[in-house]
């Protein structure tokens, strides 16, 4: 692959080779920072915040992420102010993951951007592409929620525990199930 060609294709949502030397340095960086963050679970909040700020693309004020936490690159993740991420979060950020302010993310939540090739030969060769995930302000994702590639969840929405979100969800609704479906509108 040419200089930055593979990474540029990845970030543009085009097909790229996931196991590529060009992406290896970013993977090593993420591996080291995630290991440091997860090992410092009992460390002072300022120390953990510093590691998180180095790992992620942007981190708002008063963000709390409980270890263990895993991601693909980290640098394509943005988290807004006062957001809470519980234990065992997995954020696969081959495309941007944007999380708003005042978001509550339960334990074992997965935010997934990679899409794998359906053709067996291309999949075996390592081809994939990615689509961004966007979580609006004041969203609550219950424990074990999986958000699939390309999904946007509107502000003030609640997604019930164990749900699999395969399509965009509008603002201000309660959604549950696999696949997640809107069961009612939420009011203040």
Measured distance CA(38)–CA(175) in Å, rounded: 31
> What is the token pair recorded at 137?
């302000």
Bridge partners of 105, per DSSP, are 85, 141
Cβ proximity of 63 and 83 under 8 Å: yes
Q: Which of 110, 109, 105, 119 is nearest to 157 (CA)?
A: 105
In angstroms, how far is the first alpha carbon of the chain from the final one?
Answer: 52
Q: Which among 4, 58, 116, 122 is annotated as catalytic?
A: 116
Exposed e or buried b per residue across 92-117, where buried means at least 16 C-beta atoms within 10 angstroms of its C-beta: bbbbbbbbbbbbebbebbbbbbbbee
Cβ proximity of 169 and 159 under 8 Å: yes
Instruction: Reply yes or no on whether 116 is catalytic.
Output: yes
Active site residues: 116
């Amino acid at each position: 692959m040419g200089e930055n060609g593979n990474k540029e294709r990845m970030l543009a949502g085009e097909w790229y080779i996931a196991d590529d030397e060009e992406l290896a340095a970013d993977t090593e960086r993420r591996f080291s920072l995630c290991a440091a963050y997860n090992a410092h679970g009992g460390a002072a909040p300022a120390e953990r915040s510093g590691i998180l700020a180095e790992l992620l693309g942007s981190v708002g004020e008063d963000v709390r992420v409980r270890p263990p936490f895993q991601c693909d690159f980290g640098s394509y993740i943005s988290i807004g102010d006062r957001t809470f991420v519980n234990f065992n979060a997995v954020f696969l950020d081959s495309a941007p993951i944007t999380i708003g302010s005042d978001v509550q993310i339960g334990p074992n939540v997965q935010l997934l951007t990679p899409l794998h090739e359906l053709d067996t030969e291309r999949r075996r060769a390592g081809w994939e592409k990615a689509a961004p995930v966007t979580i609006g302000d004041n969203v609550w994702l219950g424990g074990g929620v999986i958000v699939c590639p390309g999904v946007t969840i509107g502000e003030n929405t609640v997604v019930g525990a164990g749900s699999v979100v395969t399509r965009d969800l509008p603002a201000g609704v309660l959604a549950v199930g696999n696949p997640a479906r809107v069961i009612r509108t939420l009011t203040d």
